[in-house]
């Protein structure tokens, strides 16, 4: 990190270039991508093409989980970090060629604000919303609600902090322990430093996405059938429907 790199832009640095390492230090994060893919596919009909908006597509792990084995989706994948999105463009060029995938380089809120009311069947995301500041996340949730079609579904696999702060702190301590266990033997102190700095950002008071607050924000935005499942340590899958 440098003085000119804001915490929120850390996916443009070494983390973005070596994002695959997340699989080693936090397997639950990549598991969330698989769960988001499964939830999207469970909702999809096999006959008509469904429009899916993906927020924070990153290197394409979640995008691939959604597209695998489903030719009835069209995904617009949004990510404002070229270091990440360029990898997705390279990894997923076959789906771009098939017309199933397109990209947008705007930030999530700007992308949503440029989309019409009731225009997407699903809005899906993994491991992205927890990076947002509270006020930005609240606006994003309102926009997600507006852009979804009636009966459309919002699916998010993400870091949802436990409401019990002591239990949550314990989980974070264990998480840091895992970073050391994986990265120290392979002499990646540079990456270790970056991920710990990033973790401080995720856990900071103006970012941390606590389960109770998140569910309340979604209810306030108008969602129904809000369900939280698949909790694995500090991660969980949330699905909700626009009535
Ligand atoms: C932890 S990665 C997750 C990527 C992918 N969904 C996955 O699970 O592997 C978070 C991604 O969100 C992107 N991101 C963060 N803030 C964003 C914003 N405000 N608008 C759009 N993308 C954002 C980052 O650039 C990064 O690629």
pLDDT in tens, 22-49: 778 888 888 999 999 999 999 876 678 9
Measured distance CA(86)–CA(3) in Å, rounded: 25
Measured distance CA(39)–CA(25) in Å, rounded: 24
- Counting atoms of ligand 1 from 1, which one is nearest the CA of 140? 19
- pLDDT of 3 reads 41
- pLDDT of 235 reads 95
CATH numbers and ranges of domains, the chain: 27-162+207-241 (3.40.50.150)
- pLDDT of 4 reads 40
Residue 79 CA to ligand 1 centre (angstroms): 6
- pLDDT of 46 reads 65
- Counting atoms of ligand 1 from 1, which one is nearest the CA of 81? 25
Q: What are phi and psi of 228, to 5 degrees?
A: -115, 130
Residue 47 CA to ligand 1 centre (angstroms): 30
- pLDDT of 11 reads 66
- The low-confidence residues of the chain, meaning pLDDT below 50, are 1-7, 9
Residue 78 CA to ligand 1 centre (angstroms): 8
Reported as type and span, the H/E element at residue 81 is: none
- For residues 201-227, one letter each, b for 16 or more C-beta atoms within 10 angstroms of the residue's C-beta and e for the rest, the string is bbbeeebbbebebbbebbeebebeebe
- pLDDT of 168 reads 97
- Counting atoms of ligand 1 from 1, which one is nearest the CA of 63? 6
- pLDDT of 20 reads 76
Pocket test for ligand 1, best of 26, 60, 128 (most atoms within 8 A of CB): 128
Q: What are phi and psi of 211, to 5 degrees?
A: -50, -50
- The CA-atom distances, in angstroms, between 142 and each of 59, 109, 110, 221 are 26, 10, 13, 5
Please tell me the residue having the least CA distance from ligand 1 atom 26: 58
Q: Which residues line ligand 1 (CB under 6 A)?
A: 11, 33, 56-58, 61-62, 78-81, 84, 107-108, 126-128, 131-132
């Amino acid at each position: 990190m440098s003085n000119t790199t804001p915490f929120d832009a850390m996916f443009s640095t070494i983390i973005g270039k070596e994002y695959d390492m997340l699989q080693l230090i936090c397997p639950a994060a990549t598991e969330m991508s698989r769960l988001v893919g499964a939830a999207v596919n469970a909702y999809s009909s096999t006959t008509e093409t469904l429009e899916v908006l993906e927020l924070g597509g990153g290197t394409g792990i979640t995008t691939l989980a959604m597209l695998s084995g489903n030719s009835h989706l069209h995904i617009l994948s949004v990510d404002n970090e070229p270091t990440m999105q360029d990898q997705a463009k390279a990894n997923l060029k076959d789906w771009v060629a098939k017309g199933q995938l397109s990209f947008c380089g705007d930030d999530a809120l700007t992308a949503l604000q440029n989309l019409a009311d009731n225009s997407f069947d699903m809005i899906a995301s993994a491991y992205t919303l927890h990076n947002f500041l509270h006020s930005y996340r609240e606006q994003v949730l309102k926009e997600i609600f507006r852009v979804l079609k009636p009966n459309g579904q919002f699916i998010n696999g993400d870091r949802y902090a436990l409401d019990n702060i002591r239990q949550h702190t314990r989980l974070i301590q264990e998480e840091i322990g895992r970073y050391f266990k994986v990265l120290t033997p392979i002499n990646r102190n540079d990456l270790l430093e970056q991920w710990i700095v990033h973790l401080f950002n995720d856990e900071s008071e103006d970012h941390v996405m606590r389960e109770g607050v998140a569910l309340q924000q979604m209810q306030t935005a108008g969602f129904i059938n809000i369900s939280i499942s698949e909790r694995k340590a500090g991660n969980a899958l949330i699905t909700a429907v626009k009535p």
